[in-house]
Amino acid sequence: MLESIKTFFNPQQNLFFDLLIQQAEYAVEATGMVLTYLEEPDKQRKKETRRVEKQADKVRRQLVKALSDTFVTPIDREDLYALSRDLDDVVDYAYTTTDELVLFKLESNDFMMKIATLIHNGADELLLAMKCLKDNPNDANDHAMQAKKMETRVEKAYRRALAELFTPPDDLAGMVEILKRREVYRHLSNTADRIDEAADILSDIVVKMS
């Protein structure tokens, strides 16, 4: 069955796999930039992440246009659209996270580093999954499951971070600090949620390809 699917794909249909891989590469790059900023704060990271976001948006638009121009797609249209959207959202949230870290002038802490590392690892698993999807869908599913595990660990770390964050502040400045950090934690959690959603869609695609 798999061999017949491979044979059926033509260059135009292969384009979808190539574009998904490109989107996943940008997701890895953007989440890596968040991690790099936390390790060594530099306003230039914000500009670099913005550049990646714009490039990722361009690839997303290419995929959407290809969807409208192609009669037969190698993957269900709705799945392609949703998977592409989630990958794009990962990049968007990475940018907003970096943006707010710069805006709020927040220093990194252990929770931020742990969560950002898990997110970057999850994005990397998605990239590996995209590279396997066309020829080795079962391997792609394995990587999708690993990405979901990263999200589960993010959620646990996120809840611990919030629990520690919401201790009674000593003054107004302490309350402001709490609100700033909560906002950044929220963006990091949203990034992980999109990775989880993308992994779910990938698993659905693998089932349909089998």
The predicted pLDDT at position 1 comes to: 47
Does the structure show a pLDDT above 70 at 96? yes
Residues in the chain: 210
Q: Who has greater pLDDT, 1 or 176?
A: 176
Least confident of 38-52, 84-98, 151-165, 167-181: 167-181
Amino acid 193: pLDDT: 98
The CA distance from 199 to 165, in Å, is 30
Q: Measuring CA to CA, which residue among 108, 114, 103 is closest to residue 38? A: 108
pTM for this structure? 0.91
Report the C-alpha gap between 122 and 175 in whole angstroms. Answer: 32
Q: Is the pLDDT of residue 3 over 70?
A: no
Q: What is the DSSP letter of 166?
A: -
The rounded mean pLDDT for the chain is 92
Residue 37 CA to residue 57 CA, distance in Å, equals 22
Q: Indicate the domain borders of the chain.
A: 2-209
Rounded to whole angstroms, the Cα distance separating 87 from 130 reads 11
pLDDT of residue 6 exceeding 50: no
Distance CA 148, CA 19 (A): 22
Note the pLDDT tens digit of each residue in 130-175.
Answer: 999 999 999 999 999 999 999 999 999 999 999 999 877 677 777 8
Superfamily of domain 2-209: Phosphate transport system protein phou homolog 2; domain 2 (1.20.58.220)
pLDDT at 113 over 70: yes
3-state secondary structure 56-95: HHHHHHHHHHHHHHCCCCCCCHHHHHHHHHHHHHHHHHHH
Over the stretch 171-194, which tens digit does the pLDDT of each residue have?
777 788 889 999 999 999 999 999
